[in-house]
Amino acid sequence: MPASPITIAIDGPSGSGKSSVSKAVARTLGLAYLDTGAMYRALAWWCLERGTDLTDQAAVAQAARDLPLHVGTDPDAADVRVDGTDVTEAIRQTRISSQVSAVATNLDVRAELRRRQRELIDSLRAERGGVVVEGRDITTVVAPDADHRILVTASEQARLARRAAELHGGTAEEHLAATHDQIVRRDRDDATVSAFFEPADGVTGLDTSDLTFEQSVQAVLDLVTGRLAPQPAPQPHTPDLQEHR
């Protein structure tokens, strides 16, 4: 554990490896881990379970304020519970992945969940000595004063292959096609409210396209410990809206 409290903020698009890398970094450094994306997924799950129309922005914003949410911060047991129900696996299902952007692009929802995220960061710094926080806008909005701010990116091809292997067990053409909409459309939608393709000044870029998982983790650790000089964050290709229709 670091000698003084530390916050490591990691952003990136879907399939860039930010979640698995963030967990490994937190585990290695003995820090807490906070998956902010899971909070949006949990809200989407709760709204769907309660029959809340995701297009009703006021109703979804109220649901965010009422959400009885527990997010585990142990990198080895990052469970998610809503009103006592374990939804850790349920929020990763396709029905949530395909609709979570409707929740994540609601500005009132973002304001509420960002408030909760900042409170968690403060408490984890005090109680656990620090935290690795990952999401879309952590480096720019949630924790712009984090000790380390890193944007993890990868080429679209690499991101599709990783997510296809994770969800469908392979990278054949049909696996990539089944994953394409979830990766490209969701990133496109989320980019309307969160600039994770355009890193802010002071944010270090890490392109993991050609790195193994172990190399990606080590690269982040090297950045945190100062063994690797920061590089300007790359700006990955953002698909044109007509490109994949």
**178-218: per-residue pLDDT in tens?**
666 666 666 666 655 555 556 668 899 999 988 999 999 99
Residue 206 to residue 223: CA distance in whole angstroms? 9
155 is in an annotated binding site: no
Find out whether 15 is annotated in a ligand binding site. Answer: yes
What DSSP line would sit under 43-81, residue for residue?
HHHHHHHHT--TT-HHHHHHHHHH--EEE--BTTB--EE
Q: Is 18 annotated as a binding residue?
A: yes
Q: What is the pLDDT of residue 238?
A: 39
Measured CA angle at 150 (ends 146, 152), to 5 deg:
150
Judge whether 30 is annotated as a binding position. Answer: no
Whole-prediction pTM value? 0.83
* Residue 240 pLDDT greater than 50, yes or no: no
12-41 confidence digits (pLDDT tens): 987 788 999 999 999 999 999 999 999 999
Establish whether 23 is an annotated binding residue. Answer: no
13 labeled binding residue: yes
Q: Which fold has domain 7-225?
A: Rossmann fold (3.40.50)
**Is the predicted pLDDT of residue 85 greater than 70, yes or no?**
yes
